[in-house]
Amino acid sequence: MIRPHIVILGAGFGGVYLAKKLVPQVKAGKIDVTIINRTNYFLFTPLLHEVATGSLSASSVAEPLREVFAGTGIQVIQADVVSVNPATKTVTTSVGVTEFDYLVIATGADTNYYGISGAEKFALPLKNLVDAARIRARIIDSFEQAVLVNDPKERLHLLSFAVVGGGATGVETVAELSDFVHEIMDRYYHNNKAHAGTPGSCNADELAITLVHTGPEVLQPFPQALRTAAADRLKERCVSLQLGSTVTAVTKDGLTLTDNISIPAHTVIWAAGVKANVPHFEGGDPTLVAGRLAVNEYFNMTGNERIFAFGDVAAYADTTPKHAPLPMLAQVAVQQADMVARNIIASIKEKKLRSFEYHSKGSMVSVGSWFAIGFIGRFKLFGKLTWWMWRTVYLFKFASWKKRFRIMFEWTLEVFYPRDITKLE
């Protein structure tokens, strides 16, 4: 009997958790599974902002795929996906052609600049390890340049930072950025010209950190009390909030907003949104919904029962309230992965497929060191205990105890030692 070959495109949360669900079938010799991913590791993106701001090393948030799936029988191919051909059931990659019986597209999302002038050229995204290294290097370079400058206005420009986007990524990034820059100024640059005092002093003549968000409040999906707590915490950490303003242009000197507002910034970090990373299809473009692959309630792509898509790259073709777009979150992709695995096996066995129903397990957001907000059901949480819970939850989402111990070690070191200012190349 020829075993069905299942090919998974993408090794983010969706792809990795799907492959894990299929491991028992692989070990039983019932199916073959191949993962195709552009890198050879699974990247824990929710902690990228800690790599960018010196709390974690780059290797701590990446788990090699061959290590994750060692001994399972799952094959891994590191390659870029060039195209998908539904007619021939093949995927063309940068290293060759792979045939499939079932294809699962879990390619996630990329940074969305919304066509804003200069955004892609001058703003720094935070989607991968290269981005995190680039942001850390930019921050450190800004300080190294500032200590050589005599003009206070030029120093202030060099030490002006802006984060665009008031969602979870933007809030976590700007909070960690504030902690990072104040810590290294106080420890390493206090005898130099680039000095803005302690974290509580907020000397606007020496340092500027701004969060720009188009909405009236940050973290709008969260309850009002938590939005207020997060905003108050950011202000305490010397972050200026520019709310209700849309970015119209990004230049090397900063941001231009609606109503002719200008925000000077030597460093702009872009956390304003994402767009689905849809692979190229041979033989005709696939059906899309809001830029995402259209799927039915079983996650089959429109018109093809052998191709599944889920996570950030997919959206229901049925746009009725019952199938309203789900948030582009890791926990959504993880829950969907379980259902996709069930439906693939059901399809192979020619049994009835099941539809998916999302159940939120709550959400938490870090707002700098020792403070987080979150909700679990009707319970609203904020403060130090929530921050500890946030870190614990993320810690146990890593596949191996080896990685968990490494992260615990680095987080423990951070309590006693300053953050790492090594410039990552």
3-state secondary structure the chain: CCCCEEEEECCCHHHHHHHHHHHHHHHCCCCEEEEEECCCEEECHHHHHHHHCCCCCHHHHEEEHHHHCCCCCCEEEECCEEEEECCCCEEEECCEEEECCEEEECCCEEECCCCCECHHHHCEECCCHHHHHHHHHHHHHHHHHHCCCCCHHHHHHHCEEEEECCCHHHHHHHHHHHHHHHHHHHHHCCCCCCCCCCCCCCCCCCCEEEEEECCCCCCCCCCHHHHHHHHHHHHHCCCEEEECCCEEEEECCEEEEHHHEEEECCEEEECCCEEECCCCECCCCCCEECCEEEECCCCEECCEEEEEECHHHEEECCCCHHHCCCCCCHHHHHHHHHHHHHHHHHHHCCCCCCCCCCCCCCEEEECCCCCEEEEECCEEEEEHHHHHHHHHHHHCCCCCHHHHHHHHHHHHHHHHCCCCCCCCC
pLDDT band at 2 (very low <50, low <70, confident <90, very high): confident
pLDDT over 80 at 424, yes or no: no
Question: How far apart (Å, rounded) are the C-alpha atoms in residues 25 and 23?
Answer: 5
Contact, 374 vs 381, CB < 8 A?
A: yes
pLDDT grade for 295, boundaries at 50, 70 and 90: very high
Average pLDDT of the segment spanning 6-23: 98
Q: Mean pLDDT throughout 219-230?
A: 96
Average pLDDT, the chain: 93
Confidence of residue 194 (pLDDT cuts 50, 70, 90): low
* pLDDT score recorded for residue 188: 83
The whole-number pLDDT of residue 193 equals 57
What the chain holds in terms of domains, given with CATH numbers, is 5-38+79-111+275-348 (3.50.50.60), 119-272 (3.50.50.100)
Q: Is the pLDDT of residue 217 over 80?
A: yes
> Tokens for 87?
């007619």
The values of phi and psi at residue 263, to 5°, are -120, 105
pLDDT tens for each residue of 314-364: 999 987 777 777 888 899 999 999 999 999 999 999 999 999 999 988 999
Dmax (CA) of the chain = 76
Q: Which two tokens stand for residue 78?
A: 């590191």
User: Lowest-pLDDT range, 142-146, 174-178, 417-421?
Assistant: 417-421
Confidence class of residue 199 from pLDDT cuts 50, 70 and 90? very low
pLDDT of 191 reads 58
User: Is there a contact between 264 and 253 (Cβ–Cβ < 8 Å)?
Assistant: yes
pLDDT in tens, 88-97: 999 999 999 9
pLDDT attached to residue 327: 84
**Is the predicted pLDDT of residue 177 greater than 60, yes or no?**
yes
**What is the rounded distance in angstroms from the CA atom of residue 252 to the CA atom of residue 117?**
12
Cα dihedral: 328, 334, 339, 345 (round 10): 130
Six-digit token string for 250: 């990004």
pLDDT number for residue 197: 46
Determine the pLDDT at residue 166: 97
Candidate from 10-14, 185-189, 303-307 with smallest mean pLDDT: 185-189
